[in-house]
Amino acid sequence: MKELWQLFITFCKIGGFTFGGGYAMLPMLQREVVDKRGWASEDEILDYFAIGQCTPGIIFVNTATFVGYKKKGVLGGIAATVGSIFPSVIIVMTIAAVLNNFAELPIVQHAFGAIRVVVGVLIVNAVVGMWKKSVVDKFCAVIAVIAFLLSAILSISPIWIVLGAALLGVALPVVKGAWSR
């Protein structure tokens, strides 16, 4: 029961104190789940995060579910999932109750502008961190550049890009093995 509570509280803390979605949460997720608690390795958390992007739903919630399931099975997955969404539900309900009265105030507009800037910085930080850990050779760098171009220029769905990259990752060793014979 103590481990289920720890999962709930940990993901509640991450969900309550980071803003900007899954990418902005990645540094805190890494610090809490990998560095501080040892519930997953760096590679595992990146894999969970990648799978969380491909599955329906919110990246952070999906990642929390994977970590919780790894740690304590179905009950761990539920505890981590509920912990990850609990702060958002409370915050959204509170903001919805009062925002209409204050949304047009200049100070509120400036606050939201500042939050958007900080979230942008957090996302860039997460991307740089993922790049350093994921792009380990020239082949990975080429895949990353192609994926970015397909997404940014052609607006191809991330699902197809991730599936294509996975197929390339599987096919390359097979092709290299056939050429080296």
Alpha carbons 30 and 66: distance in angstroms, whole number: 14
* CA atoms within 13 A of residue 117's CA, in its CB half-sphere: 6
**Closest of 159, 83, 114 to residue 20, by C-alpha:** 114
**What's 58's DSSP letter?**
-
- Each residue's pLDDT tens digit, 17-72: 777 666 777 788 888 999 999 998 888 888 888 888 878 878 888 999 999 999 99
165-170, Cβ contacts within 8 angstroms, sequence gap of 24 or more: 168/143, 169/143
Q: Write out the two tokens for 104.
A: 């047009």
> For residue 47, which phi and psi values (nearest 5 degrees)?
-65, -45
| E strands in 10-80 | none
The Cα–Cα gap between 96 and 88 comes to 12
Stated pTM of the model: 0.59
- In whole angstroms, how large is the CA radius of gyration of the chain? 19
SS3 (DSSP) at 109: helix
How confident is the model over 57-112, as pLDDT tens digits? 788 889 999 999 999 999 999 999 999 999 889 988 888 888 778 878 888 889 88
Domain parsing of the chain, residue ranges: 2-106+113-134, 135-181
